[in-house]
């Protein structure tokens, strides 16, 4: 039986136990930050040469400026090589992701107020975006779709992809996903060096306005350090799932519990229930499923190090616990999820009921699976169209508008000691036309 931590919310020290459970080492220490800083500086200075040195060192193949490039023709060839079933699944996912994200499109707006000013907002897309697609322990074509499709919906002109290729092997499904989602060009590089190339540009890889997509701790550290040179979506940590259950098939629930654990040893799965007997049954099925998983070692390390089964007094208490966790994925596997939903304040994606496992959202439901992790759902949101657009304020005024509110602005400028600011207003206030 898997050695999964058991907690009881009625215990006097439950809060301390929960905080200890949530304090995963998901960030990067000073040693990694320093190593990444050196890589960034080297790629910024030496460009393609440094990029290929690190690619050869970390991915184990002879990279050159020419052979790192993945062209649309390469993507098309991969699209034609994958199976009919692969193409059908990718097309369905792309269509559904596009349909969902089209609802996020923002539009320009304006209004004229009583002072006579017309005020508004203009929405414009980013010019160039770089997609980081994870590679290594697994290939993630779904991440290509989840990053590229909303960028297209937002109107981004240039979308490029970087993807690590251990031993020089490029996954056909990743390339096929890039083809169907409209990625214009890709590069067979990954890690902190790829983030550096996207941020600073090289002779081969263009500098972009924003880098999106999850990666390992080196990628996370690199994204943190290049922020300001370009934008980033978020600092993604290991994946996580929380579940509130009051009923259901323990075999299903056990599988759902493992759905994130198989990603990474540092991933976290937490199940909260008001039924101790159900917790026992789920624990049994977790072990049964673990014995059949190809990634058993990874999943077992995750659940035994970071997983937990929590007994709560009520669903309301379970919701309070979830709001502390602020999970990336939240399954409300309860009889009446709509009654519980208003109690949830912090979660990246919420799956309602017994027939929507987290995996449905990972691939074809439509909402984005790039989600805030490590309790950042308290203040951030899933990736979406809005991450690929900018908002500009638009301000119009007539002579009458300045006359109506300019004196107050000039007064505030003087109070701040900014005489030229005030002068720009006072000169206009003297203008009688």
3-state secondary structure 102-161: HCCCCCCEEEECCCCCEEEEEEEECCEEEEECCCCCCCCHHHHHHHHHHHHHHCCCEEEE
What is the dihedral sign for C-alpha 269, 274, 275, 276? positive
One fold for 5-26+237-365 and 69-232? yes
Residue given tokens 């005024």 in the structure block: 397
* Cα–Cα nearest to 218, from 226, 210, 209: 226
Residue 429: predicted pLDDT: 95
Cα–Cα distance measured from residue 96 to residue 363, given in angstroms and rounded to the nearest whole number: 9
- Report the 10 Å Cβ neighbour count for 127: 13
- Could you list the mean pLDDT of each consecutive 10-residue stretch along the chain, which spans 433 residues? 92 96 74 94 98 95 94 97 98 98 97 97 98 80 97 98 92 96 96 98 98 92 97 92 97 97 94 97 97 96 97 98 98 97 98 97 96 95 97 96 97 98 96 76
* Cα–Cα nearest to 196, from 169, 215, 178: 215
Residue 324: predicted pLDDT: 98
Q: How do the domains of the chain map onto residue ranges?
A: 5-26+237-365, 69-232, 397-430
CATH of domain 69-232: 3.40.50.1980
H or E segment and range at residue 98? helix 84-102
- How far from chain centre, in Å, is Cα 73? 28
11, two tokens:
């215990």
Please identify every residue annotated as catalytic: 328-329
Residue 29: predicted pLDDT: 73
Residue 2: predicted pLDDT: 81
Q: Is residue 127 within 8 Å of 160, Cβ to Cβ?
A: no
- Which pTM value belongs to this model? 0.93
Report how far apart, in Å, the C-alpha atoms of 256 and of each of 130, 185, 357 are.
Answer: 32, 36, 6
CATH of domain 5-26+237-365: 3.40.50.1980
Residue 25: predicted pLDDT: 65
Contacts of 57 (CB under 8 A, 6+ apart): none
């Amino acid at each position: 039986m898997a050695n999964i931590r058991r907690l009881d919310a009625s215990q006097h020290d439950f809060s301390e136990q929960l905080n200890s459970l949530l304090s995963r080492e998901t960030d990067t220490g000073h040693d990694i930050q320093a190593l990444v800083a050196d890589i960034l500086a080297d790629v910024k200075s030496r460009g393609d040469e440094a990029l290929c040195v690190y690619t050869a060192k970390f991915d184990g193949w002879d990279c050159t400026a020419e052979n790192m490039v993945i062209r649309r023709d390469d993507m098309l060839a991969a699209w034609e090589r994958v199976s009919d079933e692969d193409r059908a699944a990718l097309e369905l996912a792309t269509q559904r992701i596009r349909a969902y994200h089209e609802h996020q499109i923002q539009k320009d707006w304006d209004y004229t107020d009583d002072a006579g000013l017309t005020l508004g907002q203009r929405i414009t897309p980013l010019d160039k975006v770089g997609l980081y697609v994870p590679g290594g322990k697994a290939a993630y074509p779904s991440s290509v779709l989840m990053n590229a499709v909303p960028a297209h919906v937002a109107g981004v002109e240039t979308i490029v992809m970087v993807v690590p290729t251990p031993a020089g092997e490029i996954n056909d499904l990743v390339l096929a996903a890039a083809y169907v989602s409209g990625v214009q060009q890709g590069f067979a590089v990954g890690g902190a060096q790829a983030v550096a190339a996207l941020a600073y540009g090289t002779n081969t890889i263009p500098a972009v306005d924003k880098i999106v997509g999850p990666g390992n701790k080196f990628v996370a550290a690199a994204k943190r350090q290049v922020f300001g040179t370009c934008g980033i979506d978020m600092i993604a940590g290991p994946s996580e799932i929380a579940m509130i259950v009051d009923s259901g098939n323990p075999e299903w629930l056990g599988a759902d519990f493992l759905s994130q654990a198989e990603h990474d040893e540092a991933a976290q799965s937490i199940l909260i229930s008001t039924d101790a007997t159900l917790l026992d049954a789920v624990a049994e099925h977790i072990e049964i499923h673990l014995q059949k998983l190809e990634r058993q070692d990874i999943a077992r390390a995750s659940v035994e190090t970071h997983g937990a089964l929590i007994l709560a007094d009520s669903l309301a208490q379970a919701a309070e616990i979830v709001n502390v966790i602020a999970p990336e994925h939240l399954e409300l596997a309860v009889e009446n999820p709509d009654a519980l939903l208003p109690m949830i304040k912090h979660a990246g994606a919420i799956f309602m009921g017994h027939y929507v496992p987290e995996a449905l959202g990972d691939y074809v439901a439509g909402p984005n699976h790039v989600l805030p992790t490590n309790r950042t759902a308290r203040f951030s949101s899933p990736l979406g169209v809005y991450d690929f657009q900018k908002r500009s304020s638009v301000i119009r005024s007539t002579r009458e508008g300045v006359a109506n509110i300019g004196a107050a602005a000039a007064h505030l400028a003087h109070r701040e000691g900014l005489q030229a600011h005030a002068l720009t207003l006072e000169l206009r206030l003297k203008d009688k036309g």
